[in-house]
A and B are shown apart, each in its own frame.
Chain A
């Protein structure tokens, strides 16, 4: 109703403003997309064209998939993919089970020492040991050069735990009580009522955790030197950043170690899964931000 009224009253001046506004937004969207589009074009161009420069709106000189063949046949990419999928799938699964198992009791008023436990999980949000103590811990647990170094140290975070807890707290107690009156036991209540009702928040947090695992690189950098334990993002860092820095420090910065199309293909190969999932999962990601803005 109010929208229609607005439209009727729109003066020519405000219509112009709306067009300018839409124009600026469109321009911003193009700027957001162009770098990725550029990488796509570079990756499918023959090497000679890929490093030719200029605005790349469409592949010139034909399409060549040789960069992808090269990247996908590189050992560290294949191993990296395997390790990244491992840490994403295993890490996210364990994380979600642990988040739920901690969040449900924390949402219960009857939990003994509830305030103490809340504080217990909250303090690490404000203070942490820092880089070296964490490194020494991982080392003393024997996790250096071990795949589990990617999973165990980052199983849980306070922020996500609070989000799940707040969501579960909002589920009315009366649902549980009426189920109990009907003879449902603890596990029936958990699996038939609480978990189905908290699926939205679990999906959101799972997506965040999964993206975090997919993009994580620092643990691979400091905990694992074994080539068999390389992750996709560490491969990406070595190809895009370390290799380039090494040559820009020594020579003029002109000579690249790997060709532009290989760089482009590496980026696309690494972000393809995110690009594929993103359009369908976007609303879950966004919903989580809203949930997170309700503190308790």
Chain B
């Protein structure tokens, strides 16, 4: 009795707060509707992966697949899927190994520069590629790497080498993916570390100077330990993103000759779904990718909290 009255008074207070702050709620309404329609409604659409989807019948009207996991069984038995899964992991890991440390090194190098005009210029130039789309970057690469009139092949030829058809050779695909990621993101990625570097107490460097530390020793014993928290957070975030190999980049760089090493889950799901119109299989692929991705994010967030850092989310 007592409890229910308490409850009802709390409920009434809640209703009154709804009324008092209806302005705030009304303000949020467009965003609430947007998220309901364009973010939550497609989540229901994942049921397509468990149905024999017919365009004419729609999602609700299409019959359930028999068995419900029919498309997942097809997926796991499909060599193209296994290939895409392997490629996704391989490209992601290659990118982490090479493009993760690069912005850190770059930030430390920039931080050593004393002339601020020079530093500013380098920053402006190296941040620029971040704003180019992958279509532009891929287009530039095609011009530079062309076996006919590309400057890279001209340099190879000038040193007596034979010209390479870079974008058609499977063995060059992954190196090019890594190099182009470096080109596009090394500058932009360094911003976070530069911010961390400016936060280091200069007294630490003075103390190191008094102890007679060389420039390299200062970097190893003062700089790196001071920015280590930032590095570990960024690393964990990157690991959480391991299932995306970079759709925009890959889809603009690969072609049928390089599918064997370049086709990732996202590009494969795209071709299955919107080129071959196998909606159910494509949805199953996306769902598989998203669930693994979600698990990775949850694990990495848990690890961040365990390490004593504030959780990322």
Q: Does B303 contact A (CB under 8 A)?
A: no
Are B154 and A54 in touch, CB under 8 angstroms?
yes
Are A135 and B310 in touch, CB under 8 angstroms?
no
**B interface, size bucket:** 35 or more
Residues of B within 8 A of A282 (CB): 124, 127
Known contacts A32-B187, A128-B43; is A6 also within 8 Å of B209 by CB?
Answer: yes
Q: Does B165 contact A (CB under 8 A)?
A: yes
Known contacts A98-B30, A136-B48; is A295 also within 8 Å of B310 by CB?
Answer: yes
Question: Which B residue sits closest to A134, measured CB to CB?
Answer: B42
Q: Does B9 contact A (CB under 8 A)?
A: no
Which of B196-249 touch A at CB < 8 Å?
202, 205-206, 209, 214-216, 247-248
- Number of contacting residues on A, CB 8 A? 104
Q: Does A181 contact B (CB under 8 A)?
A: no
Within the complex, what minimum Cβ distance (angstroms) separates B137 from chain A?
8
Are B25 and A105 in touch, CB under 8 angstroms?
yes
Known contacts A156-B35, A222-B274, A240-B142; is A25 also within 8 Å of B109 by CB?
Answer: yes
Question: Which B residue sits closest to A17, measured CB to CB?
Answer: B215
Within the complex, what minimum Cβ distance (angstroms) separates A35 from chain B?
4
Are B114 and A18 in touch, CB under 8 angstroms?
yes
A217, B195: Cα distance in complex, Å: 32
Within the complex, what minimum Cβ distance (angstroms) separates B307 from chain A?
15
Which of A239-294 touch B at CB < 8 Å?
240-241, 244-245, 248-249, 253-254, 260, 263-264, 266-267, 270-271, 274-275, 278-279, 282, 285-286, 289-290, 293
- Residue among A132, A248, A293 with most chain B CB within 10 A: A132
Q: Does B150 contact A (CB under 8 A)?
A: yes
Known contacts A39-B143, A279-B124; is A126 also within 8 Å of B297 by CB?
Answer: yes
Within the complex, what minimum Cβ distance (angstroms) separates A34 from chain B?
8
Are A237 and B135 in touch, CB under 8 angstroms?
yes
Question: Which B residue sits closest to A55, measured CB to CB?
Answer: B151
Taking Cβ atoms with an 8 Å cutoff, the residues of A that contact B are 2-3, 5-7, 9, 13-14, 17-18, 21-22, 24-26, 28-29, 31-33, 35-36, 38-39, 42, 51-56, 98-99, 101-102, 104-106, 108, 110-112, 117, 120-122, 124-137, 140-141, 152-153, 155-156, 161, 186, 211, 214-218, 222, 233, 236-237, 240-241, 244-245, 248-249, 253-254, 260, 263-264, 266-267, 270-271, 274-275, 278-279, 282, 285-286, 289-290, 293, 295
